[in-house]
Amino acid sequence: MSTYYTKEHEWLRIEGDEVVVGITQHAADELGELVFVEGKDAGTEVAQGDSVAVVESVKAASDIYAPVGGTVTAFNDALSEDPSLINRAPEADGWIVRMKMADKAQLDDLLDAAAYAALLA
């Protein structure tokens, strides 16, 4: 399993022939308590950088952007019932969407864990 990060604080984890996308602990902490999450429907095609979800917190609403282009295969339905799952486990059970990646070369645009940690430092 390989995990990549964006400068906008999304993460992407490769799982088989799909990627799982969510926001980092840093982003979850900055947003505060999440009260609403809405993701794109399965079958929606997105380009790298397109919005794949909207999250609303007690502080603000934010778009979540696709780290790579592809087709959304699933939205984490558990978030509809409990958006704060992202706050509790943003890089585990709080994932937002699954996607089929269109172009693996787009991974070159992302950060590895060390580069992301350096960004936060």
The predicted pLDDT at position 60 comes to: 87
Beta strands 45-46 and 61-65 are unpaired
For the chain, which domains are there? Answer: 2-103 (2.40.50.100)
pLDDT per residue as tens digits for the range 33-45: 999 999 999 999 9
Average pLDDT for the chain: 95
**Non-local CB neighbours of 62 within 8 Å, separated by 6+ positions:** 31, 54, 55, 56
Q: Cα 24 to chain center, whole Å?
A: 8
pLDDT per residue as tens digits for the range 47-62: 999 999 999 998 889 9
47-86: burial string, b at 16+ Cβ within 10 Å, e else? ebeeebbebebeeeebebbbbbbbbbbebbeebeeebebb
